[in-house]
Structure 1
């Protein structure tokens, strides 16, 4: 059953997030260690990111003055 049918937000893995952001997978792990990565869910040994958390995190990454 798909998450859409259940009314749940899709979650993506580290590889998908890295591909979306255009960075190496190791960068995601490095960002997590330094506290700069998007919030994640830890499911066993797997990390999953909600799309809304990634969107919020991206908004916070805007450079100062870039919304002019």
Structure 2
């Protein structure tokens, strides 16, 4: 059985993103994503247990803010 296709919403997957996903999206090292979180300058993230996740809508909103600045 083939895996379910990912539905795209504003060009982003319809699932929560990992730090690796966010780093790939912006073509930056994953360490940069963690630094953004530590400094409070990147997209908002939340924890699921020990795992960090990003809402695609938050990433899209943050991207729009960066483009407007």
Bigger Rg, which one: 1
TM-score tier, shorter chain, comes to: 0.7 to 0.9
Structure 1 unaligned blocks of 5 or more? none
Out of 21, 26, 36, the residue aligned to residue 21 of structure 1 is 26
User: Gaps (5+ residues) in structure 2?
Assistant: 7-13
Aligned position for 2:17: 12
- 1:63 is displaced (CA, Å) by 4.9
Q: TM-score, normalised by structure 2?
A: 0.75
Q: Which residue of 2 aligns with 1:45?
A: 50
Aligned residues: CA RMSD:
1.7
Q: TM-score, normalised by structure 1?
A: 0.76
User: How many correspondences in the alignment?
Assistant: 58
